[in-house]
Structure 1
Amino acid sequence: MIDRRYIWEKYAGDYEFVDEEGDQTNAWVRSTEEAYVYWMYPNFILIQGSQGKVDPTERRIRSAMGDHVDVDNLEFDPDFFLWLLYRHSKPGEYIPGPISVEDLSSSEVYGDLEQFGHRGRIEDSSNIAESLPIIAALLQEMQFRMLEGFFAVNGSSLKVQIRTEGRIHVKVAGAIKDAETKLKRVLLALRFVSEFVSLYQEWRDDMDRMDKYPPLSFFDDLAETAARNNAEFSFDVDDLINEYEEKRGVTADPTDFNYL
């Protein structure tokens, strides 16, 4: 791993001052910004910092590397988040590799529905798979934009927020909060990010589409959960079923549906 600390200065304003000699002069206020870059050579470059610091750091990295290295931004497919929810909530299913989901408590979905608007968000739920607003949104083809919860990696429990645009925020909770040193916190976060990105690449590039997308019965399970909570949905789910029939390459079995 190659690690670097990027520091740059910004100058703001054009202020008039009187110097020690009593002469009027112009000056600018200097501020210092910094971000940390970790190159998990040769596969990943991770930038640690706020969004306002990540973007200029990325531009500097691209400029420094020029045409010698191809750098692509990583974004997560919303269906990958749906797959994580399915594997976490369905008994007998599992997530391959060293990462597991302990709970999913917050999420954000987006789409274009009159009754939901363009975006919906649930926070601090005990289980988003049982959240009626999230179930209704998913059954109407809205897509995940964010997932948050506790993930385990090699025995360490981390609270993480992951967004489809490729931003991963490892929060100060769980093993990160209990870590004795900043170095240990950084190493735990880097381990999670590295393993999570590897998991996503395996899902994206290597999985059979029957494993990559949840079975059609999963959507009926969501509707069953809603029914147990006295919620009835009257909207049409034909487009949703057709979409995942095409993605999985199978035709829906009518016996899969009791609530849709």
Structure 2
Amino acid sequence: MNESTFHYDGYLVFTPVLIRTKNIPATNIPNIDEIISQLPEFHSGDPSAPAEGFEEMKIRKYIENDNKLSGAIKRELKDLTAVTYNVESYHEETAFVDQERREVYVREVESAEVYFFDSNIALLRGKQSIVNQAISAIQRVHSEEILIENIEFTPDFMSHIYEEFNDVFSDNIIQPNEISEVQFEGFDNISTMKIYSGDLKSELTNRYQNMSEGQINYITVKYYIDNIDTAIQIQSDRLHVKASEGAISRMTDLARMIYSIYFCKRISNIAVEYEGVQTR
């Protein structure tokens, strides 16, 4: 794999999940290598038995060999194992074959990416229905051992991001830039405000604090990730890296993916810790 051969389709929208053991305590971290090794491999099926399964992605090898990535990003992602979940389907269409009109089967394969880490966090990317199928397929193989739960970015956590924006990350790899958008809901209506300066942030803060039942629905933040300015929208259960904004938009598909995975892993860990769930 190299920068010129790696491409992705769709948006950089990730669904973070928490993988927990069913043992007591439930916060025990499962053996991720063991989980991955038991996933069924993908092989083509046929119309009577459409196939589903997993294929390994080689993205970690690129990370290890890329001299342009900082040591901090490499260390954070050294435990990454990426797989693609593929699900096959067939539908009938009318076509001309050998000058005859016939009913033929057309094969379609839809995919979702799964990024596992040795901690109990994984990131999934793809069409939401296929992401849900991938989660179910993993859970089905390990139904006796693990639980897979969505990581929720609660209104309280988003308020924490909003109020402590400059101090969310404790290292120099991710530096704060600005909060660019907040959608908050009051008891009477939903409002969206763009924030470009301290005055506007103060105005929004006053309005937010004066709502007796207000909560943040989503927040878009801008950070410098290893000096690359990047915008990320934090939703209730998803993270959307805005690949068309900032310096990240001028990077290759592979570099954008690596920086996105790095940030989404970090913010997911912070959310889990904030909600009081023990991680490694």
Please state which band the TM-score falls in when normalised by the shorter chain.
0.5 to 0.7
Query: TM-score by structure 2 length?
Result: 0.59
C-alpha spacing 1:37/1:145, structure 2 compared with 1 (3 Å): same
C-alpha spacing 1:191/1:17, structure 2 compared with 1 (3 Å): closer
- Say yes or no: does 1:105 pair with 2:180: yes
C-alpha offsets along residues 204-260 of structure 1, whole Å, 9 cap, x if unaligned? 228xxxxxxxxxxxxxxxxxxxxxxxxxxxxxxxxxxxxxxxxxxxxxxxxxxxxxx
C-alpha offsets along residues 152-205 of structure 1, whole Å, 9 cap, x if unaligned? 3444321111102x20011213342233x3332222111111111122233222
CA contact (8 A) 1:125 1:131 kept: no
- Say yes or no: does 1:152 pair with 2:227: no
Structure 1 residue 80: deviation in Å? 1.3
Identical columns (%): 21
Larger Rg: 1 or 2?
Answer: 1
Q: Distance in 2 between the 1:76 and 1:26 partners?
A: 48
CA contact (8 A) 1:104 1:148 kept: yes
Stretches of structure 1 that go unaligned for 5 or more consecutive residues are 207-260
Q: Distance in 1 between the 2:270 and 2:226 partners?
A: 14
CA contact (8 A) 1:161 1:169 kept: yes
* 2:167 match: secondary structure: coil
Structure 1 residue 54: deviation in Å? 2.3
* Aligned residue identity for 2:196: S
Stretches of structure 2 that go unaligned for 5 or more consecutive residues are 1-79
CA contact (8 A) 2:195 2:201 kept: no
* 2:195 match: secondary structure: coil
C-alpha spacing 1:156/1:43, structure 2 compared with 1 (3 Å): farther
* Aligned residue identity for 1:126: Y
Candidates 58, 79, 88, aligned match of 2:135? 58
Structure 1 residue 15: deviation in Å? 3.9
Structure possessing the higher relative contact order (Cα contacts under 8 Å, 6 or more residues apart): 2
Candidates 130, 136, 151, aligned match of 1:74? 151
* 2:107 match: secondary structure: strand
- Alignment correspondent of 1:184: 255
* 1:71 match: secondary structure: strand
Alignment of 1:186-201 (within 5 A): 186-201=257-272
* 1:72 match: secondary structure: strand
* 2:164 match: secondary structure: helix
Count of residue pairs brought into register by the alignment: 192
* Aligned residue identity for 1:60: A
- Alignment correspondent of 2:167: 94
The structure whose residues are more often helix, as a share, is 1
